[in-house]
């Protein structure tokens, strides 16, 4: 129990130091609550990381952070309501630029 309290204090201190989670989101994904947007972004982060590991655009020890994805969507769509298709297109463009896949060679 004591360890749990210590972890919670550390995490709460981190939360005050920097905006995170739903507070970081400056767009609306299909009018959904920000918590649902966080879930969508988490899934996108997981699948993008797996894809970029396979194509060689990302080292196996690295991953694509949800925060990175949110920042890219904020840059392109702050204050707007967007579809998941628009979000995907924006993120694919950013990922292809920042984590390009290595050319396939036989």
What would the pLDDT profile of 51-98 be if each residue is shown by its tens digit?
Answer: 999 999 999 999 999 999 999 999 999 999 999 999 999 999 999 999
3-state secondary structure 24-86: HCCCEECCCCHHHHHHHHHHHHHHHHHHHHHHCCCCCCCCCCHHHHHHHHHHHHCCCEECHHH
pLDDT of 11 higher than 70: no
Please, what is the average pLDDT of the chain?
85
In the chain, what are the domain boundaries? Answer: 36-100
Enter the tokens of residue 61: 């020890």
pLDDT of 7 higher than 50: no
Mean of the pLDDT values across residues 19-26? 79
pLDDT for position 23: 86
Residue 28 pairs in a beta bridge with 81
pLDDT for position 14: 46
Query: Who has greater pLDDT, 102 or 66?
Result: 66
């Amino acid at each position: 129990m004591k360890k749990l309290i210590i972890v919670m204090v550390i995490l709460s201190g981190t939360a005050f130091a920097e905006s995170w989670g739903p507070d970081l989101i400056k767009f609306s994904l299909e009018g959904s609550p920000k918590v649902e947007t966080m879930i969508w972004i988490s899934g996108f982060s997981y699948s993008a990381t797996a894809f970029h590991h396979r194509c060689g655009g990302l080292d196996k020890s690295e991953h694509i952070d949800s925060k990175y994805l949110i920042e890219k969507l904020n840059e392109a769509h702050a204050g707007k309501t967007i579809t998941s298709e628009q979000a995907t297109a924006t993120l694919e463009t950013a990922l292809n630029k920042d984590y390009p896949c290595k050319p396939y060679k036989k």
